[in-house]
Every structure is written in C-alpha cells, then in structure tokens.
Amino acid sequence: MIKYSETIHDLTWPELLQQIAAIIARDEKSLESNVNYYLKLFNDSNSDKNQLNKFFEKLQLEKLRFAYFSELFIRLEDNNYKMIIMSLESCIHQETNMQNKTPKDWSATIRYENGQIKVYFMALSYYQ
C-alpha cells in the first residue's frame, strides 16, 4: 500500500501558490453560499434575530479574512517576489546538495542588475 507522504514544506513555490489559489477559490464559493443563506434567513420573518446577528458577525469575519488572504496571495503572485523566493529556494537546495547539509543561517543579497533580479547567497552555518 502506498502511503501519502507529501507535506507542505515539500512543495515548490509555484506548487504552493497553486494549492493556495485552490483553497482561496473554494473559500470564495463557501463565502458566497453563506452570504446567500444569510440573505435567505434575513428575509424570513420567523428567523431568530439573535442568531441572525451572530451569523452576520461570523460572515463579516469570514469576508475580512478572505479579503486579507486574497490580497496577500495576489501580492505573492507578483513575478518579482516569485522570482526572488524561487531563487532563494534554489540556492538553499543547491547548497544542501553540495554540502550534504542544509544551511541553518545564511545571508542573501538581492540586486536588480541590467533589468534582471540577481540573488547572491552565502551559507553561514549548517544543521548537523
């Protein structure tokens, strides 16, 4: 039997962003359904007003959380940030393969040279 072993830290940056996009899309549909349900309850004269207020507060929090995570995701999708993060991941992976140890502390310099983002990486110490 094949055991599922993938974890979040095994995902590359593009794969992680793809997974986040799927979760945000699912949350958007769920939020839309909850808003429609709230509107149905709101228009029902037999609804418990106290319960309706609690549901409204919950919806406001869900909408706020969705807005923040969507904005964060959109900013992370920016090609410059994506390139920087992917370059850093690549440097750490290359250093780990060369030294057979993962860098624990490291320093990186990110420069914009000749219209391109350049990442310079230096490992300072390693996990044992």
pTM of the model: 0.66
Chain segment 19-35, per-residue pLDDT in tens: 999 999 999 999 999 99
Is 4 contained in some domain? no
Residues 63 and 87 in one domain: no
Is 2 contained in some domain? no
Residues 62 and 84 in one domain: no
Position 35 scores a pLDDT of 93
Residues 55 and 94 in one domain: no
Query: Domain of 49?
Result: 11-77
Is 46 contained in some domain? yes
- What HEC string does 59-125 produce? HHHHHHHHHHHHHHHHHHCCHHHHHHHHHHHHHHHHHHHHHCCCEEEEEEEEEEECCEEEEEEEEEE
